[in-house]
A = this chain, B = another copy of it.
Amino acid sequence: MPHVVVVGGGFGGLHAARALARAPVRVTLVDRHNYHLFQPLLYQVATASLSPGDVASPIRWVLRKQPNVTVLLADAQRIDAATRRVLLSSGPTGDGAQSDRGIAYDYLILASGAAHAYFGHPEWASRAPGLKTLDDALEVRRQVLLAFEAAEQETDSAAQRRLLTFVIVGGGPTGVELAGALAEIARQSLRKDFRNIRPESARILLLEGGPHVLGTFPEKLRGQAHEALTRLGVEVRTSTVVTSVDTEGVMVGGERIAAQTVLWAAGVAASPLPRSLGVPLDRAGRVIAERTLAIPGRPEIFVAGDICSLQQDGRPLPGVAQVAMQQGAHAARNVIRAIRGEALEPFRYRDYGNMAVIGRGSAVADIGPLRTSGFFAWLIWIFLHIFWLVGFRNRFAVMGEWAWAYLTLQRRVRLITGERLWPSS
């Protein structure tokens, strides 16, 4: 039976593996984490509303009933397209040196996703964490909660002001959702917790380089999101480019904003894996794929999700879960067609809409003919996200958390974990 290797257990890879369930193939899914992450809700882990277990499920568990899939916890380092092998970093019994451990494939579906890009400033990464993995989210949660703790102990008012200033760089859905959630933490969840500071006096800035937040949304919804954020007390600044991130805070144009916490929700760059293929990449490192999602000149390799660069109707497809899911499943179906000797089909994205949450009872939704904001949009968001969550257990847990949080304004998971107490200690 042909061996299909899928690299990546995100939305693209998981949907590729599932679409191969009844195909006469052996499937190996490789991921460096043992969990599939429901990325659209990751900001809720970072802002202490949900537990890691609520937004992540073990990949093995998700695919346990699909006997033709083997899940391999490993870090794919490089593709050797000539010998058709995926080379892995040293495994559990390795000595840390680069080994030549690898797995052979007949067909390869690459869905290894994206990491953050810091506008050519990789040195900002340690200062301004982004939000891609569970560990990222726990680090953001840690930094946000520690900032309030440090402010409570600070006696100098300027230093206290800096500790209570939170800068979010990037006004896309993740940035908007983070800013809204931080505003609610400060104004509501922590209100009674401190004695020396007033958490509600925290300053939350959302900095967007383009002319609008939620730039991909219709104009009316962009404006409504901007207003809703402002009502929550978020300072929204558009056409504002960050020129420097340092230990003191950020520089925007000539202005310095002193801030302890800087969170990154701006650019992304594709995983470095496609670089080893020697095929044309776009500026963000993504593979410029054929319409069939195959790689030019390598009909046995397909790409899906954030590492795939594809235009549709003259516009690039966005890096969202829906695109990755549809591409993963499409790549898998094209693998089946190739095995059968049939002609491959071109991929066409069906856009079911976009949404972003601004706060409790407030969202914007752009779904087909429906363009709405406020409470109704928020209800739609809740139901769709619950529906999309992988694993019915997670659905109930998340519903329970949300119901409790809505009624009490509390965020239950306000835990500071990690060994170091303060950054300096």
Whether A415 and B53, one on each chain, are in contact in the complex, defined by CB atoms closer than 8 angstroms, is: yes
Interface residues in A35-83 by Cβ distance below 8 A to B read 35, 51-54, 56-58, 60-61, 64-65, 70-75
Q: Kindly state whether residue A372 has any CB partner on chain B within 8 Å.
A: no
Residues of chain B within 8 A (CB-CB) of A72 are 152-153
Minimal Cβ-Cβ distance residue in B for A101: B153
- Extra 11 A-B pairs, beta carbons < 8 Å, given A72-B152, A94-B424: A35-B414, A51-B413, A53-B415, A64-B193, A73-B416, A74-B153, A92-B424, A94-B422, A94-B425, A393-B412, A397-B397
Shortest distance in angstroms between A121's beta carbon and chain B's nearest beta carbon? Answer: 21
CB of A376 closer than 8 Å to a CB of B: no
Given A52-B417, A393-B404, residue A73 in contact with residue B149 (CB < 8 A): yes
Q: How far is the CB of A378 from chain B (nearest CB, A)?
A: 22
Expressed in whole angstroms, the Cα–Cα distance for A105 and B229 within the complex equals: 44
A269 at the interface (CB under 8 A from B): no
Judge whether A89 is part of the interface by a CB distance below 8 angstroms: yes
Contacts of A51 in B (CB 8 A): 51-54, 413
Residue A282, interface by CB 8 Å? no
A91 at the binding interface (Cβ < 8 Å): yes
List chain B residues, Cβ under 8 A from A90.
422, 424-425
B residues within 8 A CB of A138? 417
Instruction: Flag if B146 contacts A92 (CB, 8 Å).
Output: yes
- Which residue of the partner chain, among B74, B92, B393, B410, contacts A410 with CB atoms under 8 Å? B393
- Cβ of A275 under 8 Å from chain B: no
**Binary CB contact string for chain A from 159 to 194 against chain B (1 if under 8 A, 0 otherwise):** 100010000000000000000000000000010111
For this complex, 15 residue pairs linking A to B, each with C-beta atoms less than 8 Å apart, are A34-B149, A51-B413, A53-B415, A58-B193, A58-B414, A70-B196, A74-B153, A75-B425, A89-B425, A95-B424, A393-B408, A393-B412, A397-B397, A397-B400, A397-B412
In this complex, what residue of B is CB-closest to A145?
A: B34
Pair B416/A150 contact, Cβ less than 8 Å: no
| Complex CA–CA separation, A53 to B397 (angstroms) | 12
Once the chains bind, are A419 and B34 in contact (CB under 8 Å)?
Answer: no
User: A65 and B192 in contact (CB under 8 A), knowing A75-B421, A400-B400?
Assistant: yes
Residue-by-residue, is A360-400 near B (CB-CB < 8 Å gives 1, otherwise 0)?
00000000000000000000000000000001011011001
A195 in contact with B70 (CB, 8 Å)? yes
A134, CB-defined interface residue at 8 Å = yes
> Binary interface profile of A, 274-307, with partner B (CB < 8 Å = 1, else 0)?
0000000000000000000000000000000000
A93 within 8 A of B: yes
Complex contact B400–A56 (CB within 8 A): no
Give chain B nearest CB distance to A31 CB in angstroms: 10
Contact of A422 among B91, B145, B159 (CB under 8 A): B91
Interface: A316 (CB within 8 A): no
Chain B residues whose CB sits within 8 angstroms of the CB of A74 once the complex forms: 153, 421
A154 at the interface (CB under 8 A from B): yes
A18 near B: Cβ within 8 Å? no
Instruction: Say whether A333 faces chain B, with CB atoms less than 8 Å apart.
Output: no
- Is A127 close to B, CB under 8 A? no
Interface centre among A57, A60, A94 (most CB of B within 10 A): A60
